[in-house]
């Protein structure tokens, strides 16, 4: 092994300071940017650090500054393509700010979520991001200190004292009913899942009902297809569900279905395709989320665009700000959603 490479492992800030004839504190500030150092000094320090293959001791730095640059992210379903896009936005910002992102997936299991939070507490993370999940947060409250910076993405919780970043899903779903009604659809069904422990699915369903009322359409319980169990693999489960619900759709003369998520909508479309049902000629379908698959599936899915990557980036920026302030903050921030009109909806208004 090259002697210089072997010795480089032992290089410290003191070594750089001695060679340049400056103080260790100046070297440290030049490398970290924590305090002002002349530009020419910074350049000299960084050049020598590279030449000597200097490697900072992040653990020692963390112990001194009480800042680890580690963020713990807990998601309810890592398989969900919606959440995958959100997390990519989070990761983009954090990596640019030299944070390490550690991810845990819970599959909506409270015990797993508790375990994840405890593990992150042991890592002494600087803050938490929760992506999706149930409205019950009592099992997490007790594990976090009062000032722990926390941001929740697409997760509404009861008695929240944290920052929540979400969409007005009730309003978005009402607008989708408006859109379908304008296209001539008067018998509009709803497909999804609901659970008393999850607020967002309830908001979506409430928006659907509000849309029916607003457009003077009849609410028919027979065409509200809602599972009580939280699906982990939505596409697969609702592809199979399509065969089960189609006889009712046919009987009730449903012309359009609003799916709670894109994955549900795409699963239904695939299931109906197996039944030789033509979309949208025989049945129109819409989703919610605008995940990447909705832009490549055939026919292209009409859906509600949720700015997922922006949501993740914004959440990361908010969390970094909270970390700098050393506290959490109670606030709900709504991002804008829009309807993306594609080929999965037929116009039968003529």
Residue 62 lies in a domain: no
Residue 332 lies in a domain: yes
Q: What is the CATH number of the domain that holds 33?
A: 1.10.260.40
For the chain, the farthest-separated pair of C-alpha atoms sits apart, in whole angstroms, at 87
**Whether 246 and 287 share a structural domain:** yes
Of 9-18, 165-174, 205-214, the one with minimum mean pLDDT is: 9-18
Mean pLDDT computed over 83-91? 97
Residue 327 lies in a domain: yes
**Whether 76 and 124 share a structural domain:** yes
Residue 235 lies in a domain: yes
**Whether 227 and 175 share a structural domain:** yes
**Whether 263 and 182 share a structural domain:** yes
pLDDT at 28: 82
Q: What DSSP element (H or E) covers 30? A: helix 24-32
- For residues 346 and 279, the answer to whether their CB atoms sit within 8 Å is no
**Whether 161 and 191 share a structural domain:** no
Residue 349 lies in a domain: no
What is the Cα–Cα distance from 9 to 268, expressed in whole angstroms? 58
**Which pLDDT tens digit goes with each residue over 7-53?**
445 688 888 889 999 998 888 888 776 678 888 898 888 888 888 88
Q: Give 119: exposed, middle or buried? Use CB within 10 Å, 0-12, 13-18, 19+.
A: middle
What is the Cα–Cα distance from 60 to 77, expressed in whole angstroms? 35
**Whether 183 and 260 share a structural domain:** yes
pLDDT at 4: 45
**Whether 37 and 142 share a structural domain:** no
**Whether 124 and 217 share a structural domain:** no
**Whether 36 and 153 share a structural domain:** no
pLDDT at 228: 82
Q: Among 17, 33, 56, which residue terminates a domain?
A: 56
**Which pLDDT tens digit goes with each residue over 95-126?**
999 899 999 999 999 999 999 999 999 888 99
- Domain extent, residue 103, equals 67-167+308-336
pTM: 0.81
Q: What is the CATH number of the domain that holds 265?
A: 3.40.50.2300
**Whether 276 and 205 share a structural domain:** yes
pLDDT at 62: 56
pLDDT: which is higher, 222 or 228 = 222
Residue 344 lies in a domain: no
**Whether 145 and 203 share a structural domain:** no
pLDDT at 158: 84
Tell me the percentage of the chain whose pLDDT exceeds 90. 69
pLDDT at 123: 86
**Whether 300 and 192 share a structural domain:** yes
pLDDT at 132: 94
Q: Give 87: exposed, middle or buried? Use CB within 10 Å, 0-12, 13-18, 19+.
A: buried
Residue 341 lies in a domain: no
Tell me the percentage of the chain whose pLDDT exceeds 70. 93
- Which 8-state DSSP code applies to residue 202? H
Residue 135 lies in a domain: yes
**Which pLDDT tens digit goes with each residue over 223-239?**
999 988 888 889 999 99
Domain count, the chain: 3
Torsion of CA 26, 30, 36, 39, to 10 degrees: 110
């Amino acid at each position: 092994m090259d002697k210089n490479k072997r010795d480089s492992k032992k290089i410290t800030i003191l070594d750089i300071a001695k060679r340049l004839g400056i103080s260790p504190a100046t070297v440290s500030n030049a490398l970290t940017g924590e305090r002002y150092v002349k530009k020419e000094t910074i350049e000299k320090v960084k050049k020598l650090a590279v030449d000597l293959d200097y490697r900072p001791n992040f653990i020692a730095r963390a112990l001194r500054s009480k800042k680890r640059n580690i963020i713990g992210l807990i998601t309810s379903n890592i398989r969900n393509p919606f959440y995958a896009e959100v997390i990519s936005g989070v990761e983009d910002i954090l990596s640019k700010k030299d944070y390490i992102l550690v991810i845990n997936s819970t599959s909506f299991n409270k015990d797993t979520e508790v375990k994840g939070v405890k593990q992150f507490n042991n890592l002494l993370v600087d803050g938490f991001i929760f992506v999706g999940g149930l409205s019950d947060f009592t099992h997490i409250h007790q594990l976090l200190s009062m000032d722990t910076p926390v941001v929740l993405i697409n997760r509404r919780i009861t008695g929240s004292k944290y920052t929540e970043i979400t969409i007005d899903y009730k309003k978005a779903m009402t607008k989708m009913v408006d859109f379908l009604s304008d296209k001539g659809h008067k018998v509009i069904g709803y497909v999804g899942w609901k659970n008393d422990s999850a607020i967002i699915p309830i908001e979506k369903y409430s928006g659907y009902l509000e849309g029916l009322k607003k457009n003077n359409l009849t609410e028919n319980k027979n065409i509200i297809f809602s599972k009580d169990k939280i699906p982990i693999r939505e596409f697969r489960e609702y592809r199979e569900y399509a065969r089960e619900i189609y006889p009712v759709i046919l009987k009730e003369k449903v012309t359009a279905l609003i799916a709670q998520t894109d994955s549900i909508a795409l699963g239904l479309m695939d299931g109906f395709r197996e039944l030789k049902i033509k979309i949208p000629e025989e049945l129109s379908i819409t989703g919610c989320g605008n995940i990447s698959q909705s832009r490549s599936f055939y026919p292209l899915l009409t859906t509600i665009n949720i700015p997922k990557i922006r949501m993740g980036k914004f959440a990361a920026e908010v969390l970094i700000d909270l970390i700098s302030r050393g506290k959490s903050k109670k606030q709900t921030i709504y991002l804008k959603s829009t309807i993306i009109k594609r080929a999965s909806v037929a116009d039968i208004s003529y």
